[in-house]
């Protein structure tokens, strides 16, 4: 019997599906609403931040990549408001505009939880480790293209559409070096942490950590923007 025929291989689409599951898992718990993603994925040639709010995070280690979430103003406000109301904040005290620092901070916190959930699954299911930087959140007036600092030998880029309960749309974009994980033998996967416990842990950690810094992207030169962020 050919052992290669029995091997389980995890590729780019498997990593993308795992990341999408992390997005819906964290946001569904945080907002107490139903968020879904498209069954179709786009192959793209460039990855970038798009108006009205863009958030990105780099990860490195077992593999290198860049994750971007792009939100229209209505989508960002829906997620922000549902999250804050679920946390017990009176509606009268919520920020009224997506340009508010509070909205950017909350979206950055949620992005941090999403990537944290994803990196945890990578450790458990793929038995490798990746680290992430602090998510960067930008209020945008125009599109900004991004490049991963570490050169990718065979880059693969994907875009997935997400839909909120109010049918607002946001997009996830992933740039990653082409890679495969081949399962050589069976192993036990640790149990997945409870979503509520995950949120409580991330919320406690975020209190002592710097929040994602909002900024206004009004410069035509994307390189200057990234330099200002310390990238």
169-201: per-residue pLDDT in tens?
999 999 998 888 888 877 676 655 555 555 666
CB atoms within 10 A of CB 8: 10
By the 8 A CB rule, do 207 and 32 touch? no
Q: pTM for the whole thing?
A: 0.78
CB contact burial 199-228 (16+ within 10 A = b; e otherwise): beebeeebeeeebbbbeebeeeebeebbee
Domains and CATH numbers, the chain: 10-182+211-228 (3.40.1550.10)
State the Cα angle at 114 between 107 and 135, rounded to 5°: 55
Torsion sign, CA atoms 145, 148, 153, 156: negative
Over residues 217-230, mean pLDDT? 49
pLDDT digits (tens, 9 = 90+) for 115-127: 999 999 998 888 8
Residue 36 falls in which region: left (phi positive, over 0), alpha (psi -120 to 50) or beta: beta
């Amino acid at each position: 019997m050919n052992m290669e025929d029995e091997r389980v291989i995890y590729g780019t689409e498997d990593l993308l599906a795992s990341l999408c599951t992390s997005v819906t898992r964290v946001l569904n718990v945080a907002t107490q609403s139903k968020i879904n993603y498209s069954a179709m994925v786009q192959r793209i040639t460039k990855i970038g931040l798009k108006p009205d709010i863009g958030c990105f995070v780099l990860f490195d280690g077992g593999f290198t990549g860049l994750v971007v979430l792009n939100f229209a103003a209505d989508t960002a406000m829906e997620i922000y408001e549902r999250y804050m109301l679920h946390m017990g904040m009176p509606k009268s005290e919520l920020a009224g505009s997506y340009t508010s620092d509070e909205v950017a901070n909350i979206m950055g916190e949620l992005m941090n939880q999403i990537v944290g959930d994803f990196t945890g699954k990578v450790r458990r299911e793929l038995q490798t480790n990746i680290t992430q930087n602090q998510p960067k959140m930008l209020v945008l007036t125009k599109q900004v293209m991004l490049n991963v600092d570490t050169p990718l030998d065979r880059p693969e880029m994907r875009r997935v559409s997400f839909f909120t309960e109010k049918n607002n749309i946001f997009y996830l974009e992933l740039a990653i070096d082409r890679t495969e994980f081949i399962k050589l033998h069976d192993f036990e996967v640790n149990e997945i942490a409870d979503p509520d416990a995950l949120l409580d842990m991330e919320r406690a950690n975020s209190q002592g950590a710097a929040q994602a810094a909002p900024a206004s992207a009004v410069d035509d030169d994307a390189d200057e923007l990234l330099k200002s962020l310390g990238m």
